[in-house]
Structure 1
Amino acid sequence: MQRSFWLKFSVFNFLIVALLGVTMRYKILYSMPFLDQKHLQEAHSHFAFYGWITNVIYVLILNYMHKINAQIDLKKYEKLIVVNLIASFTMLGAFLYGGYFWASIAGSTVALLCSFVFFFFFVRDAKKIQDSSKLWFLAGLFFAVISSVGVFNLGYMMMFKTATQDLYLASEYYYLHFQYNGFFIFSCIGFLLFSMKQAGSGISEKQNKLIFWLLFIGCVIGYGLSVLWMKMPVSIFAVIVVATIMQTIGAVLLFVFIKKNWTNLVLKWSAMHRFVLLYAGFAFAVKIALQLGSTIPALNQFAFGFRNVVIAYLHLVLLMCIATFLVNQILATHYFTITNKLLMGFKLLLLGIFLNELILGLMGVFSIKYISIPFANEMLLGVSVLMFASIFWIFLHLKSFKKS
């Protein structure tokens, strides 16, 4: 299996996600009656999760396993990657056509079952791996598995029309929480620590486990932050606050470790690689700060009471933190020739993501006073076109210079 091909295919899938984003933004302003906006949103989110992010994480984990222990048989994982992609494109077509119905639910189920089997295989092969990042990948894949409870519940409620507003939101946030804050974030930290180890800045086992367990326990209990709008006893709320503080301490310790090794990274990593780490790290820091702030009831009501705030937060984590980090990891595999044209496309993508977040953030803040920003939707459409164009440019200039 040529991993450079599958990584470039992941960027192509990111391009499809961006095209769906442009279409949704266009549809807010102009008529496009043959496409349903709700169906577009469902296709956009599901394909972003499985066709783009899950796929690239799977391929990068295979790359990691090959580097750590070349004796591990990767063929079974390669088959799962193909099945996951077939399921992703099935979901893309089915959700665009009719939203939630048997075909889209079948696609979702197959993709979820893939994550179960991938986790099972990785647990078995992890015995052959002695490396600090292993723990993070095990946890990430574990969170991918348990997030499925939210999807199965959503699918069941949509099929049998039994959804209530509270149950629907609780299930949706459960799935999103363990995908975003679990699977995606933990996998990215695993890649980061391995990249740092390759640069000669490996983390000690003691420090790795301390940071890991603080973030892991914080993530498990941290789901409670997503459902603070539900009535709960003070004791449970107190546990959620403690878990959030634990997660914050874990994140601070991770930042301290990176800062301590920064001088070495300046020598070993390119300026662009370091900038993206700062860029994604800033988004991660804001995410951690917002989580801590959301334990204050008034701030939590604001966060969940305004749709623009929710969208800004989701894009902060998914685009500014995770997507940029993963694109950077693709470029850091040494499978592709890094040209000035390729870097220009990446810089434009970073600019587009920043502007997108800035506009969404301002819309969220101004919505407190029910003030609308003039031409906000037009600006968001323009920014989404910029992001699409920059990803297209990256895809065009992503040339392999050696076989994986």
Structure 2
Amino acid sequence: MNLKRHINVALGYFVIAAFFGVVLRSFHSFEIPINYKFVVHGHSHIALMGWVYMGLTTLLYKLFLANKALEVKYRRIFWFTQLTLVGMLVTFPFQGYALFSIVFSTLFLLASYWFVWFFLKHIPAKNIPTNSYQCIKLALWYMVLSSIGPWCLGIIMNTLGAGSIWYRLSIYFYLHFQYNGWMVLALLGLFVYVLERKGMKIPPKTFKLFFWTINVGIMASFFLSTLWIKPTIFLYIIGGAGAMLQIVALTVLFRFGRGDKEVMYLVFNRLQMKIVFTIGVLLALKMFLQLVSAFPYFANLAATITDFTIGYLHLTFLGVVSMGLFLFLDYFKLLRLSVGSFFLFFVGFVLTEGLIFYKGIAAWLGFGIFKGYFGSLALASLLIFVSLVTLLVRKGQGELE
């Protein structure tokens, strides 16, 4: 089974999501006959479930399970998942949350449960004691936990309505445990897996400290997503403590990696090391912003100025998660990353993030945005789209050679 083709599919979803992003960013500059909210739904679902989910599950299958005996079972899960993704792709942009899009998104949740069951049932006994598997296992359970949010949405819409605070809390619950639990912890698990393969075993006490602080931090920091309702100060403290614990955990892990800096340069090539460094900086920035949001003034700021929230989510998705996927897909030879395509993606990412946060700061401090802002944002988004198309075309050519 050629898993490189599965990554082609995942990357194809990313290209489509990036195209939707360019369309959305062009909405203010051109008259486009679309329903903006419907395309937002299509953009977010295909990005998270098409690109990230498919990329991560393909990596997990390759590294922990891949063998001839499981190919047929895995292929069934793969094609059933594609059915749900294509279904969402052709329904969300045209009808938003409606009967058929809800059916396909529900089927996707069932497909993800199927993969979790398949992975945990067939994991080889030799992998169970490893530190990397412990991280991956918890990441998969966070993905399952996050799905409580979508299940609750239907009930809330039919009882309390979309204007209820519980509607928004359900969405934030899903996003928090998707981003911080499933995606980030899975990538950290893959990082630990690479270290283990190169004989860099984390001492038991060090890993135990990392493992417990990161997981308690993930659980506690969810309350940062509730601060927009201005709850009791107790929840601010819990959320802030969760953010601090995540910072402690990442410091423990990266100090261990940095201790073998020379070995790290033997593990990753020059481009990969630059990506590792970039991800480290972006992850530190993400954690800093998360910690700052525990303070009431900044919590209110994040809740009232949506550009800050959008910028933070894109920082995590495009910066930490997508670059992390690029790193490991290239490392395990499922994707051939070039300096040019990654540089173009990085420039597009930096420009879009800068412009999004600039608009948020303008709203915060009360000054106007410059003329041509929306056109500039669309062009910056176009760079990301072009970089991904270049990467997909180059990957296809590489497989043909």
Counterpart position of 1:217: 216
Q: Is the 8 A contact 1:221 1:243 kept in 2?
A: yes
Q: Does 1:355 align with 2:319?
A: no
Report the equivalent of 2:376.
Answer: 379
Quote the residue 1:264 is aligned against. Answer: 263
TM-score after normalising by structure 1: 0.92
Q: CA deviation at 1:239?
A: 2.9
1:267 is displaced (CA, Å) by 2.6
Query: Aligned residues: percent identity?
Result: 25
Which runs of no fewer than 5 residues in structure 2 stay unpaired?
Answer: none
Contact 1:336 1:401 in 2 (8 A): no
Query: Which residue of 2 is the match for residue 26 of structure 1?
Result: 26
Kindly report which structure 2 residues correspond to 1:308-387, keeping only aligned pairs within 5 A, or say none: 308-336=307-335, 342-374=338-370, 375-387=372-384
In the alignment, the residues of structure 2 paired with residue 118 and residue 283 of structure 1 have an alpha-carbon distance, to the nearest angstrom, of 30
CA distance 1:337–1:318, change in 2 (3 Å) = closer
Distance 1:310 1:206, change over 3 A: same
- The CA distance in 1 between the partners of 2:62 and 2:247, in whole Å, is 30
Per-residue CA deviations over 1:218-252 (Å, capped at 9, x if unaligned) read 11121100001224334444333322222221121
TM-score (norm 2): 0.93
Query: 2:65, 2:119 within 8 Å by CA — same for their partners in 1?
Result: no
Per-residue deviation at 1:30?
1.0
Is contact 1:58–1:81 with CA below 8 Å preserved after alignment? no
1:167 to partner: Cα distance: 1.6
Match status 1:97 vs 2:94: yes
1:379–1:136 distance in 2 versus 1, CA, 3 Å: same
Name the SS for the 1:73 alignment partner: helix
Aligned to 2:77: 80
Cα deviation for residue 304 of structure 1 reads 1.5
Pairwise CA distance, 1:72: 7.1
Letter in 1 for 2:387: S
Sort the Cα spacing of 1:382 and 1:60 in 2 relative to 1 into closer, same or farther, 3 A.
same
* 2: CA distance, partners of 1:98 / 1:248: 41
Local SS of the residue matching 2:28: helix
Range that drifts further, 367-376 or 352-361: 367-376
Q: Is the 8 A contact 1:100 1:158 kept in 2?
A: no
Distance (whole Å) between structure 2 residues aligned to residue 242 and residue 60 of structure 1: 32
Alignment RMSD: 2.1
Q: 1:372 to 1:158 in 2, by over 3 A?
A: farther
* Letter matched to residue 228 of structure 2: W
Q: Which residue of 2 aligns with 1:147?
A: 146
Is contact 1:337–1:399 with CA below 8 Å preserved after alignment? no
Q: 2:269 is aligned with what amino acid?
A: S
Pairing of 1:3-402 with structure 2 (within 5 A): 3-33=3-33, 35-66=34-65, 70=67, 73-126=70-123, 128=125, 129=127, 130-158=129-157, 162-336=161-335, 342-374=338-370, 375-399=372-396
How far apart are 1:373 and its partner, in Å? 2.4
CA distance in 1, matches of 2:71, 2:279: 30
- Partner AA of 2:246 in structure 1: Q
Write out per-residue CA displacement over residues 184-217 of structure 1, whole angstroms, 9 at most, x where no aligned residue: 1011111111123334433233322321211111
Aligned residue-pair number: 397
